[in-house]
Every structure is written in structure tokens, then in C-alpha cells.
Structure 1
Amino acid sequence: MNMKTKVLLLGTLAIALAACNNDENTTIDTGDSRALFSASIGAQTRAFDTSWEGDDQIGITGTKTYTNVTYQTTNGDGNFTVATPGKEIYYQDDNTVNFTAYYPWNDLGAGVTEISADTWGQSDQKNFDFLHATATGSKAKPNVAFTFSHKMAKLVLTIKKGADVSLDEVKAAVLLLEGFKHEGTFNITDGTTATKDASTAGWEFANNSADPAYNAPFVVDTKNETVAYTLIFFPQTFASGLDFTAELTGIQTFSTTLDFTAANADAGDSEAKNEWVAGRQYNMSVTLHKTGITVTGCTISKWEEADGGNVDAE
């Protein structure tokens, strides 16, 4: 081997070694920079109330490139993939990306960030049980885990049979609630809600034959002879107690007022108000008697939950 050949080989070897050393300090893009999304809801695991359902959809926004992209959990297991193939979210560079997500996904126009809803239609609670979450991700850490929180308030009214009242009469009772604002908006960007001006008057949420869509979901407990109604509302503050009315067999009508101040105080609010707080579940028992109604307190439980006690309506 002559000297010229030796010089060429050494030069080639030096270039190869330099290339290897540079590779050790360079992030190699495999060509797949997709963001991967999973989601849970606080201490619980559901979009609408307690668990995700198959094909539940969320809207995800991240960077200026991606806005309100639809992702869905096909199997209801909390792992989300893009609803429309080809619309996947990709990391554009090596920077960390701040993502926001909300549920349920809505097909919003360009620049629209608010969803309007009317909570009178309790049979379709899934459409306004709004959730919101934020999380970060990057090419280096592509897995984005959202933890959603409820942005509405939930009221669980357990109706009990009292003196001279049968379970069948409890199940057939027409129940009314008024004094709250049933319309409002949800902001998908920051998860805030707002109510509109009109207050509800004489709204029937149980055994409403004229407007069945207003009827709230319920569970009958034959052992304890109760009927529990679940209602979801926009968070709001009240100037006075809410009027609650029960009509038994279309003959007797009894009324009382519902107040949530004590429940919020028990939940730790230093300046408790008569209000529905976002993310709280208010549990209240109402006993129907032939002579009136008894309301037994109010508690707050996991949604976050709040105990409102029992009420007797006389």
C-alpha cells in the first residue's frame, strides 16, 4: 500500500468516526411524531357521570395548527385515537406543547369557543355534562394523559315514601323545581361556564307527560322504597331557596324550599353560599307524606359530592 492510499483511508476513517460521534448526540426522527392521548376523570373514569362509553368523543386543541380535533375512545377504555384518519395531531418540532381538551365534542365553526346548552332536557344529560382538561406533550414524551374535571354541578334527589304514601305513589309523583337558570354556555378553551338570564318557573323533571325529554334519569330502590333522580345543572348562586313541589296522584300538592349553603360549608367553603359549585354532587333526601314533605339535609359526595341533608315538605 503506497503513502497516497494510506492517507485516503485514514481520511475516510476519520470522517466515519466523526459521523458516528455526531449520531450519539442527535435525536433521530423516526418519521412518526404523532401525539398519543389517554384520559381519565378525576378519581373516576367516565365522561358522562362514572365511566367512558364506547365511541365517546373529545375535542383536542394544541398549537396554532390543531384546533378542536375529534378524538374518540372506541372501546370506552380511555385510550383515544383520531376519529377521522388523516387528521392526527403531530408534534411540529421538539418544543413542549400545551394541550386542552373538552367533552363532549361539538362541531364548532372557525373561531367559536362556546357551546350553548339548555339543562331542561335532562333525558340528554350526556350532551351537557361538560368536562375539561389540560396536559403537555412533546416528541420526547409523546404520551399525553388528560385528567378531566366536571364543570357542571349535579343534584341527586332521593324521594322517600312517608306516612300513608306508597312506593307506587312516589314513583308516579310529578316533581317540579324552579328558581334556577337552566340555560348557559361552556367555554372549551378554559372550561368556564356562564348562565343566561332567564330563571326556571314550574319545570317538571319527573313524570312530565307533556315534555318527556325533561324527565331526569332515575333509579328505583325497591328494598328501601325510594326513587333517586339525578340532575345536572350549570353552576350558579341563588338569592333564595329553590322552590320544590311534589304532586301526588294529581290530587295533593306539597311544596318546600331547597338550600345548599350548609352543604357547601360542610365541604369546606369559608364563605359558604346558597349555590351549586362546579364539580360537586349534592345529595338531598325528600320524604313525601300525605300531609306534606320533609327535606333531610344535604351532603356533598364524589363528583365532588356534597351532603344537603333531608327535607320534609309539609
Structure 2
Amino acid sequence: MKTRLFATLALALALAACTSDDGTLNDGPVAAVINAEISDAVSTRASGTQWAERDEIGISESRFGYTNVPYRWESGKFTPTGTIIFFQDSDPTTFSAYYPYQSDGGTVSVSTTADKQGPGIDFLFASGAKGSTRSPEVSFTDKTDKGGEDNSFHHCMSLIKFTFKAGDGLSFNETEPAGYTLEGLKHEGTFDTATGTTAVTAAAESPITMQLGGATTSQVIILPQEVNSSLNLKVSYNGQSYNAQLKLPATPTANFYTAGYAYTYNITLNNKDIEVSDPTINPWESGDSNDASAEL
């Protein structure tokens, strides 16, 4: 089931639309009122029941030249930090939006190394929402249940999630895995704020090492990418290194970590080896689950 985030962006009205005596709306400038919905959300900053304080999105449209206009979530609503978007006539205007806001806009560099993990690289994109002076509510929402389009925000990156479990001869009651290193992925690329597309620019794979700090779950946001050989996983537990190879996704595209999909691996540490489940793929969107085994 989708977890949807609804946020009403109430934009300040600096100019008022005029209404005639018969109730019709004149074609004067009218400020946009924007509704935003995140589909297929997971436990990242821009998900759950509300946006985080001071989260910012960038909104664009081409007819009137509004490009990368920032709106900030403060005190329960989105408000412009500068420019206010106004409709100028009754012709429909089409909008796109993305999260998190990038001041320069355009194509921005993305790094998914360990120190960059978090909401800052959980890129979201929405497009196709329309509005005009006669219909100033712009809804970045999923309207498919009413026969319309899905204009909601969607994840543009891919996600790998780990759940660590104690198997034969081990207990996590006092000692948990300290961390892990994942090898076989490329961690440098780009995100286009105008289209929501990503690209990998790194020439070679590089390892990423994550510390667990007592947790038994972890996740790594990555650039969508093709991988032609199994990923290597090294788990540090009680001074030992447990090694495993992770099966690559079979769906929705073989050997490809797809945008908007979360791939979950269940890692069971036994006294002498590791068992790794086939990756389950959950919303964000559904995907694979794999099992594998490894030894010290």
C-alpha cells in the first residue's frame, strides 16, 4: 500500500483576482495554490505524515518563466522564500517540482558516499500538474483513482536496505554488528532538476562503509545503475569479518537497481557464515528479495 504525504502549499496572495457581479473570474493575476503528494514513500525525511521543518522544494513552469522557485515548509505549510508564482491568464499552465531544493538548479552533482547518505540525496520529482487563473489549485497528486494522471512526487534514486539477524550460535543481546562494507556500486553521478532523471558519471565502482551504532537495520541510497556482477558485502561482528555475495535484482529490470525501488536484503549471521535472503523489493515500489551465504 502506498504511504502518501499530503501537503498544502498556501501561497501568499500579493495580488487579488477580481470577481465580477455575476460571479465569473476576471483574467487578472492569481497566485497559485499547490497541493503536493509523495507516492510510494519510505522512512526518509520527506515521508510519513509530514514534511520536516524547513524542507524546501523547487517549482518550475515554462509559460511565464518561473524556474526553480523555492518554497519552504515552515509551521505546517509551504511558503515562498522570495518569488511568488502567479497565473496571468485562463490558459492552463503545466508545472514540475522536485525535492530537495538546489539553489543552482539544472543538472547537479550527486555523491552517494557514506558521508552524503540521508535526505539530501533522496531526490523526488513531480510533473504534469496544471493550473490557471480560473483553476489556481495545482495538485501534485495521484489522480488515477478518478481516471486522471499521477502527478505526485516519486523517488528518483534507488535504495538498498539491510536487516541483520542473529543465527545459529550468535546473539545480538549484548553485541550487535558494528558495521558493513558494500562493494560493486558507483557512487558519483548527476540529477536533473528539470526532468527528474539521474545519470552515473563514476568510471569505476568504489566501496561504501556504513557504521551501525547498535542498530540492526540500515539503508543506502544509490544512483540507479546497471550492475553486471554480484555485490560483495562484508559485515563486521565481534571483531570478525563475515563475507557474502548479494544476488542482483531480477525485477523490474534484470541486473539493474531501478529508480524508485527499494531492495531489501535480510542478513543472518551464523557462528561460521552468513545467510543472505533474496532481495525483497518493497514500496517505494516492489522488487526482489534474495538469500545467499558466506563464511568467515
TM-score w.r.t. length of structure 2: 0.80
Does residue 257 in structure 1 map to residue 245 in structure 2? yes
Q: Retained in 2: the 8 A contact 1:122–1:205?
A: no
Match of 1:96 among 46, 70, 92: 92
Q: In the aligned structure 2, how far is the partner of 1:184 from the partner of 1:236?
A: 10
**Per-residue deviation at 1:145?**
1.2
SS in 2 for 1:127: helix
Match of 2:268 among 267, 271, 287: 287
Does residue 236 in structure 1 map to residue 233 in structure 2? no
SS in 1 for 2:119: helix
Letter of the structure 2 residue corresponding to residue 232 of structure 1: I
In the alignment, which residue of structure 2 is the partner of 1:48? 46
**Per-residue deviation at 1:73?**
2.4
Q: In the aligned structure 2, how far is the partner of 1:201 from the partner of 1:44?
A: 28
Letter of the structure 2 residue corresponding to residue 157 of structure 1: F
Q: Retained in 2: the 8 A contact 1:182–1:198?
A: no
Map residues 44-83 of structure 1 onto 2, 5 A cutoff: 44=41, 48-50=46-48, 51-63=50-62, 64-76=64-76, 79-83=77-81
Does residue 156 in structure 1 map to residue 161 in structure 2? yes
Q: Retained in 2: the 8 A contact 1:241–1:274?
A: no
Q: Retained in 2: the 8 A contact 1:160–1:170?
A: no
Letter of the structure 2 residue corresponding to residue 117 of structure 1: V
Map residues 14-33 of structure 1 onto 2, 5 A cutoff: 27-29=25-27, 33=30
Larger helix proportion of the pair: 1
Could you say if the C-alpha distance between residues 276 and 26 of structure 1 is closer, same or farther in structure 2, counting changes exceeding 3 Å? same
Q: Please, which moves more after superposition, 277-286 or 172-181?
A: 172-181
Could you say if the C-alpha distance between residues 121 and 24 of structure 1 is closer, same or farther in structure 2, counting changes exceeding 3 Å? same
**Per-residue deviation at 1:179?**
0.7
Could you say if the C-alpha distance between residues 122 and 170 of structure 1 is closer, same or farther in structure 2, counting changes exceeding 3 Å? farther
**Per-residue deviation at 1:276?**
0.8
Q: Percent identity?
A: 33
Between the two proteins, the alignment pairs up a number of residues equal to: 261
**Per-residue deviation at 1:32?**
5.2
SS in 1 for 2:95: strand
Q: In the aligned structure 1, how far is the partner of 2:175 from the partner of 2:279?
A: 20
Q: Please, which moves more after superposition, 276-285 or 196-205?
A: 196-205
Q: Which has the larger radius of gyration?
A: 1
Could you say if the C-alpha distance between residues 48 and 158 of structure 1 is closer, same or farther in structure 2, counting changes exceeding 3 Å? same
Map residues 191-210 of structure 1 onto 2, 5 A cutoff: 191-207=196-212
Could you say if the C-alpha distance between residues 239 and 49 of structure 1 is closer, same or farther in structure 2, counting changes exceeding 3 Å? farther
Q: In the aligned structure 1, how far is the partner of 2:230 from the partner of 2:290?
A: 14
Letter of the structure 2 residue corresponding to residue 40 of structure 1: E
Could you say if the C-alpha distance between residues 34 and 25 of structure 1 is closer, same or farther in structure 2, counting changes exceeding 3 Å? closer
Q: In the aligned structure 1, how far is the partner of 2:40 from the partner of 2:202?
A: 33
- The runs of 5 or more residues in structure 1 that have no matched partner are 1-21, 208-217, 221-226
**Per-residue deviation at 1:231?**
1.5
Q: Retained in 1: the 8 A contact 2:40–2:285?
A: no
Q: Retained in 1: the 8 A contact 2:247–2:291?
A: no
Give me the CA root mean square deviation: 2.5
In the alignment, which residue of structure 1 is the partner of 2:278? 297
Q: Retained in 1: the 8 A contact 2:231–2:248?
A: no
